[in-house]
Amino acid sequence: MGAVERKIQARARTPLVALLGNPNCGKTALFNRLTGARQKVANYAGVTVERKEGSFSSPAGRSFRLLDLPGAYSLAAHTPDEAITRDVVAGLRAGEQAPDAVVCVVNATNLRLNLRLVLEVQRLGLPMVLALNMVDVAKKRGIVIDADKLAAELGMPVVETVAVQSGGEKSLLRALDQMPDEAPRTSNALSAIDAISVEDTQHEVRRILDACTSHANDTGNLTEKIDQVVLHPIVGPILLAALMFLVFQAVFSWAALPMEMIKGGVDGVGQWLGAYMGDGMLRSLLVEGILGGVGSVLVFLPQILILFFFILALEDCGYLPRAAFLLDRLMGGVGLSGRAFIPLLSSFACAIPGIMAARTIQNRRDRLVTIMIAPLMTCSARLPVYALIIAAFIPNRDVGGFMNLQGLVLFALYFAGIASAMAVAWVFKRIMGSSAQQPLMMELPSYHWPHLHNLALGLWERAKIFLTRVGTIILTLMVLVWFLSSFPGAPEGATHPAIYYSIAGMIGRGMAVIFEPIGFGWQICIALVPGMAAREVAVGALGTVYALSQSGEALASSLTPIIAQSWTLATALSLLAWYVFAPQCLSTLSVVKRETGGMRWPLIMAFYMFALAYIASFITYRVALSMGG
């Protein structure tokens, strides 16, 4: 038997355990604790939308494969992510075995809602363990659950877990160890579930709870009191607006110092290289191509981290679903459901997870429209482009004593993205026909302080992603841009800088025919093309292009003053407008293709976004010119 076959056989013998439970009960936190993975955990329903596999060994040395699944309220799936869970558990997914055992995770503070799924899954006849998760919170609130009695009522082992504490998974590991190797299984079809009415199930849940739990000392929690303010019809929206505003101010003002430091470092290296290397191709590649390009993207790390700090903190404390409620009416006005809020908010980080999070939307048309407008939300890759142009053209001064003008313009750009997304949604809904407005049904999680450890890990992950991007795709593209911009060299008696005659120069000049009417000269056009692969590259490419266009010793990392000299304000504003709308990201389009199952929607997306970008830039450019910009 070959090694590969042995491996396959061993894998087949390793029992497959599925984590199953309502949304937001802590499945992924438990998955991470058991397997050491770092899947996303956050305090709202619908964080996990895919099936994830990992593995672990118990203290007794038994190995298990573990599945993390999207949360579900019932096996009668209503949304695409719930359908994944149902199909995996029932063994309906092509090419995949049904799990050998199920760990049903429940939120110990909300058994009334959670037990319904447990009873449903029980009817499938798989070996099961019940994990009473979040017992730390339940204990604090004085909720008493008699685990032994519950185990007797349900006829399965019941263990207490705290997924966010180290060691909080021990009892579960013990229970898994005690499971017989070849557990008897009487797999029933899904239809076994349909046979019993919801009322009967609810009745059973109530009976079990009365027998096993006591809420006599339940102190309730702070959540309701906080919500009286946060969900207040007038105070709530004001609070939301103030919060958003604070985020954008912080992105600019807090980042100033660390950005200076990174820039200083890059400049220092550039000067050192400039002084110690002879004039030549290698120096040009290192200083203008790599340092100029990569350095000008790298300085945006602090801003990106500050943005993510806020997004992660908001995700973890439980505020997001509240914001969805506050905005439900507004979104209803353009035919979107409040459920679209979280996918759209995720798109501020990157449109790709946002588009995948749309799986939690039940109505197909709502889901499609949400996917179509997700890329209009300002993703973090646009931030460097915005920040660069703002720094060059918008004076850094106070407005009204407490606001910063640059922060204000950034806020306006984000707002432009949101407003146009709403308008586009309205148009799509008009064309596709509105679906009947459904009331927003969403579980509001309890608030808790963001776990600092998670927050730090989340930021670290983000920094890693950004630095990896800078070190791989951005670096590669920058070298390519430098190469295309440096060859062939200038002919005899050239009147322009050498880059004008290079391959990139020729491409740029060709494109300029189309883009001149919206104010983009050939240098900007050169940057637009590599920007398709990664938006930030546009900034880096501008760095290289202008560094090569400069005569003398001007260093690329001082890109800001160079573009302030070379562009008119009208051009700068036009480029900002372009970046609000243009579909400058091929990976987004390919995810849309996967999620919608065809080329139709990504093509429609690319087309409408290009059209909007051109029109918006044209209008911006002309208006700014006529006002003397």
State the residues that interact with Mg ion by CB under 5 A: 27-28, 47-48
Cα-based distances in Å from 527 to 200, 383, 512? 64, 16, 12
548, 603 Cβ separation under 8 angstroms: no
Q: Which of the choices ligand GTP, Mg ion, none does residue 29 contact, using the CB cut-off of 5 to 8 A by kind? A: ligand GTP
Nearest to ligand GTP of 458, 531 (CB atom): 458
Q: Which of the choices Mg ion, ligand GTP, none does residue 461 contact, using the CB cut-off of 5 to 8 A by kind? A: none
Reference 478, options 413, 547, 554, 543; nearest CA is 543
The span of 35-43, 53-61, 257-265, 543-551 binding ligand GTP (CB under 6 A) equals: 35-43
Residue with tokens 């590599």: 530
Here the tokens at position 115 are 């037990």
442, 45 Cβ separation under 8 angstroms: yes
To Mg ion, the closest distance from the beta carbon of 451 in angstroms equals 15
**In angstroms, rounded to a whole number, what is the distance separating the alpha carbons of residues 292 and 270?**
8
Nearest to Mg ion of 283, 451 (CB atom): 451
The span of 21-29, 95-103, 497-505, 583-591 binding ligand GTP (CB under 6 A) equals: 21-29
Nearest to ligand GTP of 23, 236 (CB atom): 23
Here the tokens at position 551 are 């005569």
- Candidates 16, 17, 47, 504: give the one binding ligand GTP (CB under 6 A): 47
To ligand GTP, the closest distance from the beta carbon of 402 in angstroms equals 33
To ligand GTP, the closest distance from the beta carbon of 265 in angstroms equals 36
- Candidates 109, 122, 133, 213: give the one binding ligand GTP (CB under 6 A): 133
502-509's contacts with Cβ under 8 Å and 24+ in sequence apart are 504/545
The span of 26-34, 56-64, 275-283, 498-506 binding ligand GTP (CB under 6 A) equals: 26-34
Q: For residue 499, what is the DSSP state?
A: G
Here the tokens at position 522 are 């050939």
Using rule CB under 6 A, residue 150 touches ligand GTP: no
Residue type, 597: G
Reference 189, options 110, 256, 91, 85; nearest CA is 91
Query: Using alpha carbons only, what angle is made at residue 49 by residues 348 and 593, rounded to the nearest 5 degrees?
Result: 70
**In angstroms, rounded to a whole number, what is the distance separating the alpha carbons of residues 94 and 181?**
26
To Mg ion, the closest distance from the beta carbon of 205 in angstroms equals 23
Beta bridge partners of 64: 56
Using rule CB under 6 A, residue 316 touches ligand GTP: yes
- Residue 603 CB contacts under 8 Å (≥ 6 apart), including other chains: none
Q: Which of the choices Mg ion, ligand GTP, none does residue 23 contact, using the CB cut-off of 5 to 8 A by kind? A: ligand GTP
The span of 131-139, 435-443, 460-468, 481-489 binding ligand GTP (CB under 6 A) equals: 131-139
Nearest to Mg ion of 360, 378 (CB atom): 360
**In angstroms, rounded to a whole number, what is the distance separating the alpha carbons of residues 36 and 422?**
40
- Candidates 16, 17, 29, 121: give the one binding ligand GTP (CB under 6 A): 29
- Candidates 137, 334, 350, 389: give the one binding ligand GTP (CB under 6 A): 137
Helix (H) or strand (E) holding 129: strand 128-133
Using rule CB under 6 A, residue 134 touches ligand GTP: yes
445, 43 Cβ separation under 8 angstroms: yes
Using rule CB under 6 A, residue 451 touches ligand GTP: yes
- Candidates 15, 20, 23, 576: give the one binding ligand GTP (CB under 6 A): 23
Nearest to ligand GTP of 46, 80 (CB atom): 46
Among positions 353-392, residues that touch ligand GTP (CB under 6 A) are none
Q: Which of the choices Mg ion, ligand GTP, none does residue 574 contact, using the CB cut-off of 5 to 8 A by kind? A: none
Residue type, 528: L
Using rule CB under 6 A, residue 71 touches ligand GTP: yes
Count residues contacting ligand GTP (CB under 6 A)? 26
To ligand GTP, the closest distance from the beta carbon of 405 in angstroms equals 37
Beta bridge partners of 66: 17, 54
CB closest to ligand GTP, residue no: 71
Q: What DSSP string runs through 331-375?
A: HHHTT--GGGHHHHHHTTT-HHHHHHHGGG--SHHHHHHHHHHGG
Q: Which of the choices ligand GTP, Mg ion, none does residue 596 contact, using the CB cut-off of 5 to 8 A by kind? A: none
To ligand GTP, the closest distance from the beta carbon of 241 in angstroms equals 25
To ligand GTP, the closest distance from the beta carbon of 152 in angstroms equals 24
Reference 319, options 303, 339, 349, 342; nearest CA is 342
Nearest to Mg ion of 125, 353 (CB atom): 353
Q: Which of the choices Mg ion, ligand GTP, none does residue 43 contact, using the CB cut-off of 5 to 8 A by kind? A: ligand GTP
C-alpha atoms less than 13 angstroms from C-alpha of 178 in its C-beta half-sphere:
12
482, 285 Cβ separation under 8 angstroms: yes
- Residue 88 CB contacts under 8 Å (≥ 6 apart), including other chains: 18, 51, 67, 69, 96, 98, 99
Residue type, 81: D
Using rule CB under 6 A, residue 26 touches ligand GTP: yes
To Mg ion, the closest distance from the beta carbon of 46 in angstroms equals 8
Here the tokens at position 514 are 């189309």
**Which residues lie near ligand GTP (CB under 6 A)?**
21, 23-29, 41-43, 45-48, 70-71, 133-134, 136-137, 162-164, 316, 451
